[in-house]
Amino acid sequence: MINLEVPKKAGALINQAYQAAAEVFRPISRKYDRAEHTYPTELDMFAALLDGLNSSGEGGAGAAGVRRSGSDKEAKGNRNGANLNVVLGTIEMCWGDVGLLLSMPRQGLGNAAISSVATDEQLERFSGMWAAMAITEPGFGSDSAAVSTTARLDGDHYVLNGEKIFVTSGERADAVVVWATLDKSKGRAAIKSFVVEKGTPGFEVVRTEHKLGIRASDTAVLRFENCRVPKENLLGTPEIDTKKGFAGVMQTFDNTRPLVAAMAIGVARAALDETRSILASAGVTIDYDRPANTQHAAAAEFLRLEADYESAYLLTLESAWMADNRKPNSLQASMAKAKAGRSVVEIALKCVELAGAYSEESLLEKWARDAKILDIFEGTQQIQQLIVARRVLGKTSAELK
């Protein structure tokens, strides 16, 4: 049985994350939205706090992996663990500012990839590293299987060649987890992920992008030209298992998609909270004991948005709970990402409309811009719906495109 109530032991974490969001993120949110590409130095002390939470096993608002291995004793029974804690913390932090959360040192999406698929030795070796994740290329967007960056084994190193775009924290991170193919003729099964540290010869940050939203976070274009990476930096196993196919690297998404859904939920809740306050000051009462169609039109619309928010929230908690309890959650991760991504865009834009908040005097304007990326990265809305359809109908990627 899945219990989607917030566990009491997560109370302290949620309170700490909320305090950080309210006392630090919110006050500097507009500042770094305007000062695009400027690193928010205020985040350094929070990165240290999260390091402490993660090392203590409590989990923070950063990256944690879906690791299903462990002793038989650990695998039995239901438990609320690191993934649920990370989702809950992420919601609170993104209530403050999603761009600032994405700028947190050592909490990158690449860290989630390392946590998900690295060996125990690699986990220890890369501990404390800030890792971005590089998947998308100029030749493809949502089809991750179309990776054309190559990795050729040469002695004790892999030689990487290719270009990656839209890499979150690509300039600031200590390393990048790069998706590359060992053998294009073998299709998806040959795609592996490699940890490439900054300063490695042949690794170049080409430029940083100017963006619609999440401007506090840097988004970079990276190039790899005869970049030699130690073979020990290939995450997981180098074996190409055509039966397992794409499952190895795709396991990363089982973790990162609920995280992005949590980011969307945090932004959506921020917009709803602000709009509720604005409506109240305008004399609009939201009555939860009366049918929506008997209330003020703005109140009825607000109640509809809240219901949309709640469904996305529960789907996201479910996907995290399943990961913590070692249950396959690929379907639920995609459902949560699809629902939350679509909902946050509609909620944020509708809140701008209800509040008349089209200027920079209100953070609603900023949240409406920030929201759209949460429906795009880590797999677009359309890709998530395709994945869900395949899972529900029992179709392969070749059968349902």
Tokens found for residue 214: 């999440």
Catalytic residues: 378
Q: Which residue has the tokens 């991760």?
A: 333
How many other CB atoms sit within 10 Å of the CB of residue 376?
16
Cβ contact 173:198 at 8 Å: yes
Cα distance between residue 349 and residue 361, in whole Å: 16
Which runs of consecutive H residues, i.e. helices, occur in 217-246? none
Buried b (16+ CB within 10 A) or exposed e, 224-243: beebbbeeebbbeeeebeee
Cα distance between residue 373 and residue 80, in whole Å: 29
Could you tell me which residues come within 8 angstroms of residue 112 by beta carbon, excluding any fewer than 6 positions away? 63, 64, 65, 133, 252, 255, 256, 259
